[in-house]
């Protein structure tokens, strides 16, 4: 008896941003192995499957990747429908490709269900477009915790030629800001730190690149750092929307600073 595994993207956190296919796979699952950023209450409301946390968080104990691979393979060989539920998109800094390769080598059928990546969703929910005509025609996404790779990449990028999004960069925000300025980015470049995007505890900071190091995000919240002139669009949207209300008679806030 052979089951199958679905590598499913759960988006930035809010379960309303799950895709329809993601919801169907979770509903039909026998086993769900979920990441740390997944809304556990929402997960348990939509499935009767066994659900186990295998999430990884910086500087905390976590389940080794090899163990996760073995759990998926063993359950699938027992005929179970397995969902590996991952924050954001499975293939954007999510080790999804590593898991897909392990499953393929074990002869396990594998499906990838794309999710909304926090690389763009966090910015959008805060009123920041990663591209904007006349401001930025491209954006670059980097893992913020690998400083050697960051430094090498920034050395190949013309300053202010695009928006820069650092995933997993909140803890190294000071070092990242220094690296950017070393490579020619102006200290007055707009910047934003966006934590827990789409969730009730969402926190947003905006300021200048030179001020990033002094920003103090709430402890324990994962987030992204965005640098570029597109960050200024957020303020323009808030000014335009000041005093207006949406269909629910609530003022749009674009993730106001907490």
Q: Where are the domains of the chain?
A: 4-116, 119-241
Sheet holding 50-53, edge to edge: 50-53, 31-34, 81-86, 4-9, 110-113
Query: Tokens 């930025």 map to which residue?
Result: 136
Query: Residue 241's pLDDT is what?
Result: 73
Distance in angstroms (rounded) separating the CA atoms of residues 83 and 97: 15
Q: pLDDT of 52-85, one tens digit each?
A: 999 876 555 689 999 999 999 999 999 999 999 9
Do the two domains 4-116 and 119-241 of this chain adopt the same fold? no
Query: Residue 71's pLDDT is what?
Result: 97
Query: Residue 57's pLDDT is what?
Result: 65
Query: Residue 114's pLDDT is what?
Result: 97
Query: Residue 257's pLDDT is what?
Result: 45
Residues with catalytic annotation? Answer: 35, 56, 168
Contact 96, 10 (CB under 8 A): no
Task: Concatenate the DSSP letters of all residues of 135-178 into one string.
Answer: TBS-EEEEETT-HHHHHHHHTTS-TTSSEEEEET-STTHHHHHH
In this prediction, the residues of the chain whose per-residue pLDDT falls under 70 are 1, 57-61, 243-258
Residue range 119-241, CATH number: 3.30.950.10
Contact 163, 136 (CB under 8 A): yes
Residue range 4-116, CATH number: 3.40.1010.10
């Amino acid at each position: 008896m052979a089951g199958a595994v679905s590598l499913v993207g759960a988006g930035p956190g809010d379960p309303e941003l799950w895709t329809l296919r993601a919801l169907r796979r979770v509903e039909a699952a026998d086993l769900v192995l979920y990441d740390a950023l997944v809304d556990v209450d929402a997960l348990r409301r939509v499935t009767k499957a066994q659900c186990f946390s295998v999430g990884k968080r910086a500087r905390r104990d976590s389940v080794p990747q090899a163990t996760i691979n073995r759990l998926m393979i063993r359950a699938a060989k027992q005929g179970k429908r397995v969902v590996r539920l991952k924050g954001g998109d499975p293939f954007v800094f999510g080790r999804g490709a590593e898991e897909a390769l392990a499953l393929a080598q074990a002869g396990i059928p594998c499906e990838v269900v794309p999710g909304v990546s926090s690389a763009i969703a966090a910015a959008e929910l805060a009123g920041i477009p990663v591209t904007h005509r006349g401001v930025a025609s491209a954006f670059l996404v980097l893992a913020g915790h690998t400083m050697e790779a960051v430094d090498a990449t920034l050395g190949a990028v013309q300053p202010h030629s695009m928006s820069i999004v650092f995933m997993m960069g909140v803890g190294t925000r000071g070092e990242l800001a220094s690296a950017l300025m070393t490579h020619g980015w102006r200290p007055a470049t707009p910047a934003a730190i966006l934590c827990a995007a789409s969730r009730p505890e969402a926190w947003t900071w905006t300021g200048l690149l030179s001020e990033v190091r002094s920003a103090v995000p709430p402890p324990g919240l994962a987030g992204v750092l965005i640098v570029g002139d597109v960050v200024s669009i957020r303020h323009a949207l808030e000014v335009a929307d000041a005093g207006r209300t949406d269909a629910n008679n609530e003022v749009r806030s674009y993730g106001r600073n907490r």
